[in-house]
Amino acid sequence: MSANALLKISLLGTLLLAAGAIWSSNDAAGHEMTAMSDSHADNAAHAHGAMAKHMRMTEPAVAKSGDEARAKEIVATMRTSLEKYRDYRVALADGYSIFLGSIPQAEYHFWNPRDSMREYRGKIELRRPGSLLYVKDRANDYRLVGAMFSAPAEATPEQLDATVPLSVARWHVHTNICLPKGITLDDLLRGNIGQDRTDLPGLLPVASNPSLRGFNQRFGVFADGRFGFTGRIADPKECAAAGGDFVPQAWGWMVHVYPFAGDDLKVAFGPTPP
């Protein structure tokens, strides 16, 4: 697979992870806004459990001599090099872009195409990660929490361990993804998720409930919680029946690091934003 194709797959995964399981057309059709709010809460709870069938992780490894020291060095290096990006505007000026910034997310990925491409060629630089990770604070402003590093899909455990020790962090890949048919990888890279369409799988049934039009215009085909990285569908036959395209593995290996969370390595290399 070419480096350009790997980058496209990587960006697709980030987009879908950000947008998956927002609404469910089956829950929302024919209901008023209060009912849809309940459906949204159900989908949010579902998203946590859905990750198990949409994610594969490296096995926990026994700590080797030097692993802890190397992990602490990684955290220290990132604290220094990422400090300037606490102001997200600096990140934007430095070539990073926000994925689907208009869609509410638990964690926002600011990605840099050049550095993401480099990582998918197997060259990771701790001082220049392919993606920065932000959360929204109470003032609705972006707060830097960490970074994401990527690696090729064919990377071996030994290669992953050489970057971030497998005894302190578990790398992951996203699997069993159903994408709505009619939206291509290039569409997603351009930010086109079908917001202005009426004929794509995943769009909520506006004909039966006009109040859903606003959700389609904001979330596009990912208004429907069946699709995406936390979607209800994780089976090829079910995906085809829903009018989707099934992706067994959507991209390569990834690991999140949260260097500003303190000195506890379990938190710094944990699976969720602190």
pLDDT in tens, 196-255: 888 888 888 887 888 888 888 888 877 888 887 788 999 999 999 999 999 898 788 999
d(CA 177, CA 121): 24
Q: Helix axis angle, 3-19 relative to 113-120, nearest 10°?
A: 120
- Dump pLDDT digits (tens) for 44-91: 444 455 667 889 999 999 999 999 999 999 999 999 999 999 999 999
Neighbours of 52 (CB within 10 A): 10
| List of residues 6+ apart from 233 with CB closer than 8 A | 178, 226, 227, 239, 242, 244
Whether the CB-CB separation of 238 and 178 falls below 8 Å is answered with yes
Rounded mean pLDDT, 181-185: 74
pLDDT of residue 220: 80
For the purposes of burial, counting CB atoms within 10 Å of the CB of 235, is it exposed (0-12), middle (13-18) or buried (19 or more)? middle
- Band of residue 185 on the pLDDT scale cut at 50, 70, 90: low
The β-bridge relationship of strands 142-151 and 97-98 is: unpaired
Asked if residue 157 has pLDDT above 70, the reply is yes
d(CA 221, CA 251): 20
Asked if residue 271 has pLDDT above 80, the reply is yes
Above pLDDT 90, what percent of the chain? 48
Enumerate the domain spans of the chain: 3-268
- Dump pLDDT digits (tens) for 33-46: 333 333 344 444 44
Whether the CB-CB separation of 46 and 224 falls below 8 Å is answered with no
CA-to-CA separations, 253 to 147, 188, 197, in angstroms, rounded? 14, 20, 33
For the purposes of burial, counting CB atoms within 10 Å of the CB of 16, is it exposed (0-12), middle (13-18) or buried (19 or more)? buried
